[in-house]
Structure 1
């Protein structure tokens, strides 16, 4: 993992996609690259006790994914680069399930993959980044007359984020 002081530009030798991505099988890499989007969709989906988030939440989630480009983690930056590279006009990937049970299972699987193959600091950075995608979606500013941005998340949102964090091995 490469480190930089907050606010400093990345070093000139910083790679967009580290050579370490070669340690993952194609299926493992696909899981790591697809998981942030699956978490975004699952978080934005309406659920009992959690409102339909709408466009603002989706945009907040996309912004959180893009924020990974500035990560100190080579792995997170490589995953973000791969996410953007997938949108090169190629045909879309096969449909993926985004219900909560499947997403939580995918998070647990990703945690096991990272535990076996990733540098511990990169593993932690990736898991925290994926959690931050969900947190930003939950904090998205709703439309007029709805909950204000500075109010705490709903109890259902907190339970959702706690379950996601546990599946990612963060709690």
Structure 2
């Protein structure tokens, strides 16, 4: 039965158009901002200044409580994308946990140029949110490959 639906090009075009329309509507309702993260020395270890980050997030998004900030976040190290994440609960709390528990995030702290982009999602439909995250990841992956190809004069 699934095969018959996939072979029905009119139906598939309709589904894809609806999907694109849904993502477009979600994107229109979102709010994207960029932040430069401040690094501090805490107990002889480099760390993110989470107090400043919390203040910045609260002031830019005009929120009182961190749990009101849900959506997609991107971390950049020296202008290169490091990771894309998706938080349905609280981006600030997610980042704080990741920086404390995930060994990979310590690589970010080697740089003095760490940026955060946050896409606040108001309608947190988990399926569309995950799909939007996948689309953003796909775009950045293609941009990264194109940059590498240009740097090393490769043909992709």
TM-score computed with the length of structure 2 as normaliser: 0.31
Instruction: Point out which structure has higher relative CO (alpha carbons under 8 A, 6+ apart).
Output: 1
Which structure features the higher share of strand residues? 2
